[in-house]
Structure 1
Amino acid sequence: MALTQQTMTDEQRKSVALEYLKAFDHGGVTSTGGSILDLFADDAQVFFPKWGLATGKEQIGRLFTEVGGTIKRIEHHYAGFNWIFSGSDVLVCEGASHGEHRDGPWRAGVPEWGAGRWCDVFEIRDWKIQRCFIYLDPDYAGQDTARYPWLADPA
């Protein structure tokens, strides 16, 4: 296997990240009809809270199947994304979403402490996602409140 390093611009890396996020909104299908897994390098890594680290397309597929199986629908709020570019292969996207989890609906900001706000750190090289670390509250329906005393006091 030959090692290649195609130079990519920040906007090109952003386009790959957007394709990935839009694929989630379309049940894991890309704009060309392919699988979301096609966007990843063979040895890519994805981190998801309360799931852990998936390495390689097979484990990433398992992560997406297990987590995605709990989500009935999702819609990302593209107009409000904040993009941070590092000048290297790394970029960060901060955003919001709404949708329906098997335990109930969620919308960023409703309630203010609830799910829907997230941040993804990407490493994209040669038109493939090498790494995607996802930071969010996986309690989409906001049911895990008993363990947090500040949520028990509505004031």
Structure 2
Amino acid sequence: MAITTGTMTDEQRKSVALEYLKGFDRGGTTSSGAPLLDLFDDDAQVYFPKWGLATGKEEIGRLFGEVGATIRAIEHHYASLNWVFAGDTVVCEGGSHGEHVDGPWRAGVPEWGAGRWCDVFEIRDFKIQRVFIYLDPDYAGGDRDRYPWLKDR
């Protein structure tokens, strides 16, 4: 972890988080064309459900590559994002739609399906130190047999 060298405002931290989300919508590049990994500190951590915890840019790149290989397209719903700020911590809740290798998804269609998510960031010195991603990785809604309430839907 790097020593903090400058104070950031909530709006500055939000701009880093938005650049990260928009980078996924652009296929893994920032608005300047740089790789998404440039937004991360060297020893950052990323958690993704069913993948686990990645530490450092090399592992984070592997996580993004493996998960990203299953997603053909994604678009986050920026107009309806909810933001919470507490020091270096930024929480963003929202929805998305896109195309997974198993099929399409859209937040709220069906209501119980994938597409709703919440990311918890720690952002310091204009770098993502940590982002834990909370969502249902069953984008196409195929995992119904293990949940009795979904069998007939």
User: Matched residue pairs, number?
Assistant: 152
Query: 1:87-126 counterparts in 2 under 5 A?
Result: 88-126=87-125
Q: Which runs of 5+ in 1 are unaligned?
A: none
CA displacement, residues 41-89 of structure 1 (integer Å, 9 cap, x when unaligned): 0000000000000000000000000000000000000000000011x10
Whether the 8 Å CA contact 2:4–2:124 is kept in 1: the answer is no
2:114 and 2:152 map into 1 onto residues whose CA distance is: 18
Across the aligned residues of Structure 1 and Structure 2, the Cα RMSD in angstroms comes to 0.9
The alignment status of 1:61 with 2:32, answered yes or no, reads no
Q: Which residue of 2 aligns with 1:28?
A: 28
Letter in 1 for 2:88: D
- Post-superposition offset of 1:26: 0.3
1:49 and 1:148 map into 2 onto residues whose CA distance is: 18
- Post-superposition offset of 1:4: 3.9
1:36 and 1:51 map into 2 onto residues whose CA distance is: 19
Letter in 1 for 2:142: Q
Letter in 2 for 1:124: I
- Post-superposition offset of 1:3: 3.3
Percent identical: 78
Q: Which residue of 2 aligns with 1:147?
A: 146
2:78 and 2:150 map into 1 onto residues whose CA distance is: 29
| TM-score with structure 2 setting the length | 0.97
Letter in 2 for 1:117: R
Q: Which runs of 5+ in 2 are unaligned?
A: none
1:153 and 1:102 map into 2 onto residues whose CA distance is: 23
- Post-superposition offset of 1:152: 1.4
User: What secondary structure, in the 3-state scheme, does the structure 1 residue paired with 2:128 have?
Assistant: strand
2:77 and 2:98 map into 1 onto residues whose CA distance is: 11
| TM-score with structure 1 setting the length | 0.96
- Post-superposition offset of 1:153: 3.4
